[in-house]
Structure 1
């Protein structure tokens, strides 16, 4: 499938730009911005269904919205996990009662979600999770630890992959549960301070946390299938918006190279052109595969491409800045130990790009086994 934006989609771009221009000035806090987006009908436009407080638009207009949102440098989303991951999963696997309960507050920006997948001993190897959920009369009691949980400190709910069958191993005996985060004494969230100085990720400890029986999605023991379906929604239109952000970062690196004189070096110029060409290739690859379910390896290929590309961009940002790239703030009396500028943050944060969201090794394994049909790796 070859995807393209139509003239009608381009006309829609004007509406998007006008709305963002009118409302971005009033964006103060992240949760308030989510509610502003919800009131404008911009949350859930890619769900493909109406009637849950959202408006459904075609793929071309989803692309336009995502790209213009990134181009306008609008605030980072707090609600994307609920909108982009959980909602499509409930539409595919949830009951009508679950959809009626959870989709409207996602669409309005009133409830935020986090993802309870990775664990200290089961990051990329998701089938190795050990968090337990024991069935009781009115639901499940959950005990265990999750890690690298994005925005858990802001979330109202968490969808948790837990082991509901005692003694089960690997993909068997897992269930997908919807868990309220407001359970003092039963759920503890500990922010993880990164080397960038920020704390988007968290550790989450469950000590007998409760999930209601009607908040089991897809049936007991079917958690692996639901979880894999959810991960299939993780990439798509959002990849194109991400590439707009990458282009803005690349422009900053080019500007720095010109300012420092590094652009006079033919090797640096070659590296800058290579980054530009590879970014264009990523865009055309994303457009080529968008909306097609035939290419099962497309998400893994895309992740491999952008993860290492982004790391190289961060490395190049430090190279063009020279020794000044290592200089911190001059006001050491500030409350924060240091504050990074945009290119320093790019370099440090991008070190994790080949790990989070599925490590490069895992992506290569998926391509080898599921696309190329190579023999599966022997498990010890």
Structure 2
């Protein structure tokens, strides 16, 4: 087995460390920073405090990032960066803010449109502004990844751009910033963390270091996610979920995600299901499907994270989703035959081919029919 591992992000983790932002900005040797965030942070006390404590190094805010960031968001953000001659970027929030900031921090140094690189496979120019990632959710792991997931609402395409440019210079993780997450957001991003760990582990590109990280992250999710959901101010649970998110991010960055993420993109685009929740809908299904792949590696994973079998782990994933009021099937959408075929077609995303078991259209059809509550010849893999 041949493999490589690298992780260029300087990670700073700990409660209360947001107070170090001014000092960290100074370390970059830059002078004019911009915060990239969503609407709910734009005029918040947190953003005002970050600016005040930066000693004049952070002067601007782009606060219009959408929950599923668009290519238009990236270009608007890029224009603001150019307008104010910003020389470094702070991404504040969840994966959406980070995805937008990553892309904008590169495209702002060009005359290009981000659509030139979105879904085309063309490599981005190597020059980019340095990025400080400050997550306020515990789920995406985007603070340590080289991925930006964007949506082009004109074409209907949602998908990732991968580039070494997108690794933040510094990830500043302060678990206290996640206490304000609602139970629903906690659940959605927590299941996304679990998907990252599992898919990174069973990915065709898996390797030993990422495997070990995936096991550790999954253990934390199974042990602490429901506590964080039920008791939002439990700082231990919040800290452990931040750790899980970060480490799951490290676990999938190089191997990449697989079938659950491939299926999540049309579920989000067509039915507006939040990303993490959409990933979770098929996660237990693909766990069962992948059980026999590569000489039972997944059975070993299940046992190491505390279960007797993959089936028991998949049952726990299903029950965890149910206990947190997340979507476990697609019955409420009353899917027609044409809509199911559309989901099958759109699930043939590149990530699907990273699954250890080759996923056929028939497998997808059976899965979506069963999730829709329709009779099929085979439902063994669906709860």
> TM-score when scaled to structure 1?
0.23
Q: Larger helix proportion, structure 1 or 2?
A: 2
> TM-score when scaled to structure 2?
0.23
